[in-house]
Amino acid sequence: MRLCILFFFLLLHVAATFAIDNDREVIVNGRVALYGSVVRYCGGDTAKAEAMCVPVDSEGSYLSRPRAESERLFNKLHVPCWPTTVILICAIICLARSIPPRTCAAVSTLVSAAVCCWIWWLSSWIPLMSISDTLAVVALFLCIGMLTVKRRSTMVTGLVAAAMLWGFAAYMGMHPAVRPLNQVLMSSWLPIHVTLMTLAYALFLFATLCAVSGPVGKNMRLILLWGEILLAAGVVTGGLWATEAWGRFWGWDPKECCALATSIFYGILISAWDGIKNKRILTVVAFLAVIFTWLGASYLGGLHSYSR
């Protein structure tokens, strides 16, 4: 039954991918992009989208010829959609017990890494600029984490979660050309701070999926502890970056407050771990704080609202 449901969602995803019209190409922010991507970025406002674009046959792209051709191929193949398809296929194969689970995780990891590297090469900057970027990177980290999993149910759950993250990333606009680079983000602190935060989120997600798909093992507390260490390091490096960018270490910005609250929550959970009876429920509840910090806090305004 589970195999049939997974296969149905795979067919639905592939049909939706091929149903996307091959939009006309335009130049936006000096890059070749599909017009439909620009319209989605503008919230459906075609007038605003038209104002951002120039015809692709006009001068205005700063890409070299190899990059321009690679970007056009990236557009035509709808590359950000394909990790979802491949990872769902791997999940189906894993559930059907056709090949070893770790082979499925390895293929998912390679495809995720390849797409992230392609986007990195096109944009010439590490793909950690927006929520859609971090969704894809957390999906990559989650696939890597699945390489360590032995339980088949956890493997399938993790692969489906990674496929969903890639799907949301593609829907939110993974195309590197459409979203202009914010000058605040052009800092050497970006790869340090955001990588620490996304690693922490990936570990918390990994622990949550393990709790949902099976009994809470002895290593769960260790996974949460490493996630807490990385989250705390991410908060500190974020403060150092804020000192450089905004002239203060801490300003009670909504994103900062949510990250601090999440760190405190996990710190309490880890400290009281041995005395907790419903470890599975609390692990899942704790991840709700991660979701809000990661995806919701940017919509509360403040200095971090550009990361949406």
pLDDT of residue 54: 65
Q: Is 24 helix (H, G, I), strand (E, B) or coil?
A: coil
More confident residue, 5 or 191: 191
- 55-64, 76-85, 207-216, 254-263: least confident range: 55-64
Residue-wise DSSP of 267-298: HHHHHTGGG-S-HHHHHHHHHHHHHIIIIIGG
- Chain CA centroid to CA 264, Å: 24
**pLDDT tier at 21 (50, 70, 90 boundaries)?**
very low
pLDDT of residue 34: 67
In angstroms, the CA 23 to CA 34 distance is 6
Strand partners, 214: none
Residues, the chain: 308
Q: Looking at this protein, which amino acid is placed at residue 280?
A: R
pLDDT of residue 141: 93
In angstroms, the CA 190 to CA 206 distance is 23
In angstroms, the CA 171 to CA 36 distance is 11
- What are the tens digits of pLDDT across the range 97-154? 777 778 888 889 999 999 988 888 777 677 777 778 888 899 999 999 888 888 888 8
- What are the tens digits of pLDDT across the range 163-189? 999 988 887 765 555 555 566 666 778
- What are the tens digits of pLDDT across the range 259-275? 888 889 898 888 888 88
CA 218-220-222 angle, to 5 degrees, is: 95
- What kind and span of H or E run contains 37? helix 35-41
b/e 184-205 (16+ beta carbons within 10 angstroms → b) = bbeeebbebbbbbbbbbbbbbb
pLDDT of residue 29: 62
In angstroms, the CA 266 to CA 276 distance is 13
- What are the tens digits of pLDDT across the range 77-91? 777 788 888 888 888
Please tell me which of 57-71, 117-131, 251-265 the model is most confident about, judged by mean pLDDT. Answer: 251-265
